[in-house]
Chains A and B, each alone.
Chain A
Amino acid sequence: GAGVSQTPSNKVTEKGKYVELRCDPISGHTALYWYRQSLGQGPEFLIYFQGTGAADDSGLPNDRFFAVRPEGSVSTLKIQRTERGDSAVYLCASSLDPNGSPLHFGNGTRLTVT
């Protein structure tokens, strides 16, 4: 597609539930990133994929968060046992390569945990 696509655009879930957030990067981009943006804050790094492997997951806040990219294209961010503090906009970005090419962001998934 023309840009990074994220689905769903909005997700409301109850505390304790499991959610999956999907990211479809720009075709041909090998690097994929997940960031989280809380209200009034800048995006914060979560995890980065080069191809199928997670090259850096140091930003994941705890083991309830997990992400996969099994075929080196689409990625899914998975959150188990959601907490109200997980409410935020989850942004996905992709870049042509991981060596400094600019990041192109999707419009995010707005997650609300009630």
Chain B
Amino acid sequence: QKEVEQDPGPLSVPEGAIVSLNCTYSNSAFQYFMWYRQYSRKGPELLMYTYSSGNKEDGRFTAQVDKSSKYISLFIRDSQPSDSATYLCAMRGTGTASKLTFGTGTRLQVTL
């Protein structure tokens, strides 16, 4: 079993929809949680960075962390075709700043 599980999709939604992306993890040492967006043939781009449990909002993006359930989510409001990309969750423990453990990524397609 992988330390981080993420549904690979693809996930197809109409423009304007609310998108929910999720990851589960098994390592209780993970304390820092990130979401990256990756366009085709590009490197991952950091979207959200959160510590421990709780919510964080940035524009149309909201990240949620539930450490008790070992479950993290990314919500995208008013989705746009330009949001079409692969979304990767990543996480690490304290004292392991060098090593991020990534999910496999969820491919999102926002259609007109």
* Chain A residues with a Cβ under 8 A of chain B: 4, 31, 33, 35, 40-45, 48, 55-56, 59, 91, 93, 95, 98-108, 110
Contacts and interface: CB of A to CB of B under 8 A. Distances in A.
9 contacts: A31-B97, A40-B8, A44-B102, A91-B44, A95-B97, A99-B97, A102-B46, A102-B49, A107-B41
A31 B44 CA distance: 17
Contacts of A48: 98-99
A101 B99 CA distance: 12
Interface of B: 4, 6, 8, 32, 34, 36, 41-46, 49, 88, 90, 97-105
B46 A103 contact: yes
Most buried by B among A101, A107, A110: A107
Most buried by B among A59, A101, A105: A105
A91 B43 contact: yes
Given A42-B105, A104-B46, 7 more contacts: A41-B104, A42-B88, A42-B104, A43-B88, A45-B98, A56-B98, A103-B46
Closest 4 CB pairs of A and B: A42-B102, A105-B43, A48-B98, A107-B43
A55 B98 contact: yes
Contacts of A98: 97-98
A69 to B, nearest CB: 14
